[in-house]
Chain A
Amino acid sequence: KQEVTQIPAALSVPEGENLVLNCSFTDSAIYNLQWFRQDPGKGLTSLLLIQSSQREQTSGRLNASLDKSSGRSTLYIAASQPGDSATYLCAVKGVDYKLSFGAGTTVTVRA
């Protein structure tokens, strides 16, 4: 069974600092990996999707890397803003196409 771990569980940074969020998974036989953002009491917004054959994906200030062999992904958010405050979830899609979620990293960006 795929186990997904996100560290740290919570992170507080001053505005302008870069954010580094980590995700690790136990089974390297994955189809893809997706990063989501969740605002309090809300649903999930897809941020980036990395196919198993890719090493990284970029969208604006966001960059996600994937090292399948070591079972790790990292989400970088450059020049953080208070609007980036949210919970960030890592989800790994297995070869059976089922998503396994991490518990999330709750980010607070202080103005």
Chain B
Amino acid sequence: SAVISQKPSRDICQRGTSLTIQCQVDSQVTMMFWYRQQPGQSLTLIATANQGSEATYESGFVIDKFPISRPNLTFSTLTVSNMSPEDSSIYLCSVRPSTDTQYFGPGTRLTVL
């Protein structure tokens, strides 16, 4: 299993600003994922972050808006840039230690005013 922590747990931000979300895992994992859950919606994959390589973004998500860092096998950051109210969501970090079970962090609840 894997235990994941995220910081901050929640934040309220002004439009036009940026927020960086941190994800820390208690064990080394190759594959780390960032998801977004908009209000009342299910989870959508933003990008896959592997250590030592550029993140791979899903359709509809771009690096300029959601830059990701993956400096080592236990840590990653997601930045939400130039925020607008439409970015208000829960952002979740996830890891997949094997091809089977996937684990999720507690999420970061972002509100953009």
Contacts and interface: CB of A to CB of B under 8 A. Distances in A.
Mutual binders A and B: yes
Interface of A: 31-32, 34, 36, 41-46, 49, 51, 89, 91, 93, 97-99, 101-104
A43 B106 contact: yes
Given A41-B109, A103-B42, A97 B104 contact: no
Contact of B100 (A32, A98, A102, A104): A32
B43 interface: yes
A88 B4 CA distance: 20
A71 B54 CA distance: 35
Give chain A's interface secondary structure class.
Answer: strand
Interface in B42-83: 42-45
Contacts, number: 46
Nearest to B109: A41
B105 interface: yes
Given A34-B101, A89-B43, 20 more contacts: A31-B99, A41-B107, A43-B4, A43-B105, A43-B106, A44-B104, A46-B101, A46-B102, A46-B103, A49-B100, A51-B100, A89-B42, A91-B43, A91-B102, A93-B102, A97-B96, A99-B45, A102-B42, A103-B41, A103-B42
A43 B101 contact: no
B90 A41 contact: yes
Contacts of A89: 42-43
Given A41-B90, A43-B92, A89-B43, A97 B99 contact: yes
Interface string B82-113: 00000000101000100111111111010000
B45 A42 contact: no
